[in-house]
Amino acid sequence: MVSSPFSRLPGAVGDPPEHYGSPIGEQRALERGEAVVDLSDRDVVAVSGEDRLTWLDALTSQALATLAPGTSTETLLLDPSGRIEHAARVVDDGTTTWLLLDAGAGASMAAFLERMRFRSAVEVADRSAEFATVGTLGDPPLLEPAGSDVPRPVTWVDPWRAVTAGGWQYATAAEHPGASWTWSETLVPRDRLGELTALPHAGTLAAEALRIAVWRPREATELDAATLPHELDWLRSAVHLAKGCYRGQETVAKVHNLGHPPRRLVLLHLDGSEGAVVRGGDEVLAGAAGAEPVGVGRVTAAAVHHELGPIALALVRRSADRVADLVVVTDDGTRVAAAQEIIVPPDAGATAGVPRMPRLARR
């Protein structure tokens, strides 16, 4: 991928830039809706053809068959066992359905879709080399039209602010932190990305800190080979529980109606007094007072928030004590104390309320 013009700005660290010298200040500017974030390492897949929406509806977790032009949603590609393979941010412009994916996911997603075309009137194209993505909170940035033949910019607006139609929320917080989340992502022709560098800008570290604070999952950080949508509270915006069959749908229904997800997402408030750096993949420990802590999960993403301080998202066992203080073990062996804030509660699922039948041997 060609180096981003944002990476050549003064103070830029990384490509795309993680920050421009002031990560906390950039967070505040981004939160106020006054900055754009270069996401040009992310991938873009386009699906065209008259069958595109009904076809994608049959393959993925969200109800897409009647998606109106300009409406944003997201969908999950699951394996036959219901585990998440890819998460796509979806918007249709009336002729093309655009799938916005995290870095490195586009080629795999496009290859899968290409194999599933059969007789459907669809065309699949990986357009990551043509389009870059920029993100912001509030109004998306707009380029001046270069001519009458240039299509209007495609912008995806994150649906995380509320439970979407057909979805379900496991979080029981009186006020979900995602309610004020106004994140959007806009596609920009790569040869015009440099025109946006004149706007105030923030790095990806700022975007990550704000995302973590609103409990928002993403593919690049929260997924491993066994992740179920329920574990991340992703039925909230990416799954339609009343639509027709799709790959992995049986597991989604069984866990939601009859069982419990084996792991649960938590927000960790980290002790920052020693300055230890917590990263995704670090082990999370728990244990009773006086006992040696045992592993109960892993950190998926961590950041320093401008108000909350050091925070992280972590996936822990469902059985982990919900009121216990946890410990995160960093790469160098430092143990960082962590207080958990429940996102997915241990009793998530089993919504059908089917009574258990007594075993015959106990009669």
Q: Using one digit for the tens of pLDDT, what is the confidence trace for 170-194? A: 999 999 999 999 999 999 999 999 9
Q: CA 127 to CA 254: how far, in whole Å?
A: 36
pLDDT at residue 363 tops 60: no
- CA dist 99 and 59 (Å) reads 14
Residues 49-84 have pLDDT tens digits of 999 999 999 999 999 999 999 999 999 999 999 999
Q: How confident is the model at residue 141 (pLDDT cuts 50, 70, 90)?
A: confident
The CATH code of the domain at 5-254 is 3.30.1360.120
**Is residue 229 within 8 Å of residue 241, measured between CB atoms?**
no
Q: What topology does CATH give the domain 262-342? A: Elongation Factor Tu (Ef-tu); domain 3 (2.40.30)
pLDDT tens profile 208-234: 999 999 999 999 999 999 999 999 999
Q: Judge whether residue 149 has pLDDT over 70.
A: no
pLDDT of residue 358: 59
- Please report, in angstroms and rounded to a whole number, the separation of the first and last CA atoms in the chain: 68
In angstroms, rounded to a whole number, what is the distance separating the alpha carbons of residues 83 and 228?
Answer: 5
Secondary structure of residue 148 in the 3-state scheme: coil
Give residue 167's pLDDT band: very low, low, confident or very high (50, 70, 90).
Answer: very high
pLDDT for 89 equals 98
Q: What is the mean pLDDT of the chain?
A: 94
Tokens of 298: 């892993």
Please report, for the chain, the start and end positions of each structural domain, with discontinuous segments joined by +: 5-254, 262-342
pTM reported for the whole predicted model: 0.94
Q: Which residues contact 253 (CB under 8 A, 6 or more apart)?
A: 241
Q: CA torsion, points 222, 228, 229, 231, in degrees to nearest 10?
A: -70
Q: What is the pLDDT of residue 148?
A: 42
Distance, CA of 255 to CA of 88 (rounded, Å): 22
Examine residue 69 and say whether the peptide bond preceding it is cis (omega within 30 degrees of 0): no
Query: Phi and psi dihedrals of 77, rounded to 5?
Result: -95, 115
362 pLDDT more than 50: no
Tokens at 352, concatenated: 């059908």
What is the C-alpha to C-alpha distance for residues 351 and 339, in angstroms, rounded to an integer? 28
Amino acid 274: pLDDT: 84
What are the φ and ψ backbone dihedral angles of 61, each rounded to 5 degrees?
-80, -15
